[in-house]
Structure 1
Amino acid sequence: MTISGVLLLDKPEGFSSNAALGKARWLLGERKAGHTGTLDPFATGLLPLCFGEATKFSADLLDADKAYEATARLGQRSSTGDTEGEIVEERPVDVSREQLDAVLTRFRGEISQIPPMHSALKRDGKPLYELARKGIVVEREARHVRIEELAVLEFAAPVLKFRVRCSKGTYVRVLAEDIGAALGCGAHLTALRRIAVGPLDIDAALTLQDLESIPTKEARQARLAPLDSLLASLPRVDLGELDAARFLHGQRLKTADSVGLAKLLLPARTVAAEEPPDVGLATTEAAGAEIRVRVYDPARLLGTALLGPDGRLQPSRLIAA
């Protein structure tokens, strides 16, 4: 029997994301599984794992903001930007709290980052980290990311502990290196812990040891979060039984609930009416683009849909009965 749900895993240090997924899959007895974005082996923290039908919605968390707690060692640069590399440069650290605060202001909001060579990004089909291991360095394009929060937790030179909430695609290793460069002393990460992915929080996570300590496979499966926890940020539409049956057959439909939601979330703009041309009456035309919503019948989640400005629902991803 296929199970569906989300395991909020507190990944241990030294495990790759795929290794952690494999261990969890074995403990839960479910073959259909995937993660929602990798964590480096040296990093710990929240790794949401999707099982069964939840794998259809794993991409939603790939696009979500992430939050981390990190520790940087000022005055040392490493070949990888973290503890997995060799120290390639050392400099004295003469940084006051006032200087640190002034530098950190540059890294809040929209910033540019150059992805590191030691990353899973691909060039000609090969991950950059494979090239880096051979001593090959290739040019990488800068990418724009957003730093929503950057807060100092502790600072006692040369150690800086900070919390960051950022958009997808942000490399915290690169952020630490860039902060070190701006301070004039260099830096590398010595610890990284992910504490949130979108609406999901580390406080609800289980370790692999927690999972192993649960005596039966069925009891472990009962600890999975419902698959709609991946979709908590999406607006909700509820359907009656007849409309739910049509929706599950892939039919487009419009209900009072969906029309009301569209009016609330997709603002309209006023334009001049074409008819009658001599009157110029004001009319309303929807200006918003389609948005994704989660759709339910009276008993369960049915899937996701695109909600148009007119309130029409177009099924996108459906859950098997």
Structure 2
Amino acid sequence: MTAETTQAPVRVDSNEPARTGARSPWTGFLLRRIGSLILSLWLIATLVFFLARAIGGDAVRAAAGLTATPEYIAAERAALGLDDPLLEQYLRFIGRLFTFDFGTSISTGNPVIVEIGSRLPYTVQLGLYSFVLAMLISIPLGIWMAVRTENGRGAKTNISFNALTGFFASVPDFLIAIALVMIFAVGLRWLPAAGGSGFTAFILPVITMSLGLIAVLSRLMKAETTRVLREDYIRTARANNLPQRVVLFRHVLPNVLTATLTYSGMTLASLLGGAIITETVFGWPGIGNLLVKSIAVYDYTLLEGLVILIATFSLVTTFIVDLILAKVDPKSLIRSS
């Protein structure tokens, strides 16, 4: 009698994810974002290189003055490589960027990185103070307005809020700056009109840069808070007689910060570039003022370094915001795949 052995079939669970060849969604997300950042930087660097030379003018003549001899001008141009073919200049420019070498300023003779480093702290301080002030005011203001005007209440307050924020969101910064200077510096003589030293010198520039941000962010916070207040879980929390502050800070605030964080990140990314007008009006010794001067004297290398710095800051800030949002909302990783 032969014993017949049967082998139990191997059970395969179709719901178990494959372990081989699986790749985390973070890998693709990071690769796409980093690739996009590098491509954007290359496009911006290429654009500013050719546009800087399309401005015209003679950078060496502007730096040397009208009394410089033609021989001196020719020697300086040759030393700076400005007589080389444009393509050769471009390839040399791109090659230097890989070593973080921004070249030498034509107008001052100092390394571009030194010129930027001496001005950057002023702009960073101005931008951060403006951003922090805008966030501290706009977030509680937007939430308070949403609660104050909930269910059609406070119609006059709502109209006044929309009118004021709409006005300050649409008025250009230079008009606000001029008005503040005329009132508080020229008329009342309470605050300095220019300069970058001392606490009082920050007040007018920070207010100028903050007013538009406060107007836009507070309107965004109000709209998002109004939307969240209509959700079922908020009605449930209120039905359980939770205190208003608990409802707002534990249930409302975390759900409105995503949209606010996105816009705030883009706003922070644009502050370096947005400081150009404010710094020019107030004579602020930052990189915005330096950028305007580099254009006036046709300083190609300084202009290129400043634009690349501003673009890098904006792109890196946006990249960090994307990472934070992906961490807060992991589903966005799958949607972006």
Report if TM-score (shorter chain) is over 0.5.
Answer: no
Greater Rg over alpha carbons, structure: 2
Task: Write 1 or 2 for the structure with the bigger share of strand.
Answer: 1
Tell me: higher relative CO, structure 1 or 2? Use CA pairs within 8 A at least 6 residues apart. 2
Task: Write 1 or 2 for the structure with the bigger share of helix.
Answer: 2
